[in-house]
């Protein structure tokens, strides 16, 4: 086992020990951890979307900060209007798709740099989201049925019901994404992110694959937003603030602690990374951290997660040099 793998396992072991100690001492309740796992599953859908844009396409797409709110707003308005919650959730997915397409068109057709395209879409979506919510800053979903209601009616509490429904969506998405990226179109999309010049030489229309990738990524983000609005019982125009940083934190934690070379294991690692991040957040809040400091904590977490691969590569290089000697 390499030193880098040992380092990752030690870090994960420390997190488990802290979690076990917190539960045993009563510093944090089991209900809080279950709630963190439930929310982590919903964030995992967004993290998978961030992975597609950031890792597969190598595009830092800031659209997610607006598309997650668009998904939440669309689902909330639809449910409030009497539309079935599952249909409303599908509508949230489609709204995310449209947001991703807009960013893709700005980049591929107007030749605007991808980072700036995402920023422009994010800014525009703030106004769009306000309009979708009927010029209101938030919409309440209290005392209305959601996708979690049928499971709650079976006798489950809200968080266990969220875990059951969240697992259904997460497993479905992971299997569909795994299937898609093993198709010809999916491989073309991966090739575009790996080496765009070589992809063009192979006859791949990289503009189309980028458009498809950004649309797919934001479809998952919209789905995440729609489910989170139903979980929280409201949608708010500010609920997407810092979403990209949270997605990246979950992504990097998953890669550092769980990711393997196999694509399916990578997808599972994204889910575990999102859950781990939410559990860590629950622990630091229980330890007394102010909620207003969470953005700072997340930024520090991302910085550390970005630095850890450098440490892992350095350790692996040292091991390789010793073997060659």
Range of the structural domain that residue 138 is part of: 3-319
Structural domain includes residue 214: yes
Structural domain includes residue 24: yes
Structural domain includes residue 280: yes
Q: Is the pLDDT of residue 8 over 90?
A: no
pLDDT number for residue 50: 96
Q: Is the pLDDT of residue 200 over 60?
A: yes
Structural domain includes residue 256: yes
pLDDT number for residue 119: 95
Query: In this structure, which long-range contacts are made by residues 265-269, counting pairs with CB atoms below 8 Å and at least 24 apart in sequence?
Result: 266/51, 267/48, 267/174, 267/177, 267/178, 268/174
pTM for this model (two decimals): 0.89
The mean per-residue pLDDT over the stretch 256-264 comes to 77
Structural domain includes residue 271: yes
Is 55 within 8 Å of 259 (Cβ atoms)?
Answer: no
Ranked by mean pLDDT, which of 229-238, 248-257, 311-320 comes out on top? 229-238
pLDDT band at 280 (very low <50, low <70, confident <90, very high): confident
Structural domain includes residue 324: no
pLDDT band at 14 (very low <50, low <70, confident <90, very high): low
Number of domains present in the structure of the chain: 1
Q: Is the pLDDT of residue 106 over 80?
A: yes
Structural domain includes residue 34: yes
pLDDT number for residue 258: 76
pLDDT number for residue 160: 94
CATH of the domain at 223: 1.10.3470
Q: Where are the alpha helices (DSSP H) in the chain?
A: 3-25, 30-51, 64-80, 85-108, 114-132, 149-152, 158-180, 184-194, 196-201, 206-232, 243-257, 263-286, 294-324
pLDDT number for residue 260: 64
Q: Is the pLDDT of residue 87 over 90?
A: yes
pLDDT band at 45 (very low <50, low <70, confident <90, very high): very high
Q: How far is the first Cα of the chain from the last one, in angstroms, to the nearest whole number?
A: 19
Furthest-apart CA pair in the chain: how many Å?
A: 71
Mean pLDDT across the chain, nearest whole number? Answer: 87
pLDDT tens-digit series, residues 140-195:
998 899 999 999 999 999 999 999 999 999 999 999 999 999 999 999 999 999 99
Structural domain includes residue 325: no
Strands 138-140 and 234-236 turn out to be antiparallel
User: Which of residues 258 and 52 earns the better pLDDT score?
Assistant: 52
Q: Is the pLDDT of residue 310 over 90?
A: no
Strand partners, 236: 138
């Amino acid at each position: 086992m390499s030193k880098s793998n040992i380092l990752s396992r030690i870090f994960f072991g420390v997190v488990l020990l802290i979690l076990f100690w917190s539960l045993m001492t009563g510093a944090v309740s089991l209900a809080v951890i279950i709630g963190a796992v439930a929310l982590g599953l919903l964030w995992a859908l967004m993290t998978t979307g961030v992975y597609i844009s950031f890792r597969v396409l190598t595009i830092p797409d800031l659209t997610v900060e607006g598309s997650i709110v668009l998904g939440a707003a669309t689902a909330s308005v639809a449910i409030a209007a009497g539309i079935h919650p599952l249909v409303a959730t599908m509508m949230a997915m489609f709204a995310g798709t449209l947001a991703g397409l807009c960013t893709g068109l700005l980049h591929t057709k107007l030749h605007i740099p991808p980072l700036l395209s995402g920023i422009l879409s994010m800014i525009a979506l703030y106004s769009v989201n306000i309009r979708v919510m009927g010029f209101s800053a938030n919409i309440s979903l209290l005392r209305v049925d959601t996708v979690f209601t049928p499971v709650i009616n079976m006798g489950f509490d809200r968080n266990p019901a969220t875990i059951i429904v969240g697992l259904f969506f997460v497993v479905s998405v992971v299997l569909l994404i795994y299937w898609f990226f093993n198709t010809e179109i999916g491989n073309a999309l991966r090739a575009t992110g790996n080496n765009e010049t070589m992809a063009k030489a192979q006859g791949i229309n990289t503009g189309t694959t980028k458009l498809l990738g950004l649309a797919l990524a934001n479809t998952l983000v919209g789905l995440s937003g729609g489910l989170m609005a139903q979980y929280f019982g409201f949608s708010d125009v500010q609920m997407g603030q810092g979403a990209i940083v949270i997605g990246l934190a979950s992504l990097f934690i998953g890669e550092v602690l769980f990711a393997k070379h196999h694509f399916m294991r990578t997808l599972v690692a994204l889910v575990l990374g999102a859950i781990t991040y939410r559990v860590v957040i629950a622990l630091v809040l229980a330890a007394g951290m102010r909620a207003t400091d969470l953005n700072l904590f997340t930024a520090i977490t991302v910085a550390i997660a970005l630095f850890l691969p450098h440490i892992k590569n350095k350790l692996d290089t040292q091991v390789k040099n010793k073997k060659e000697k």
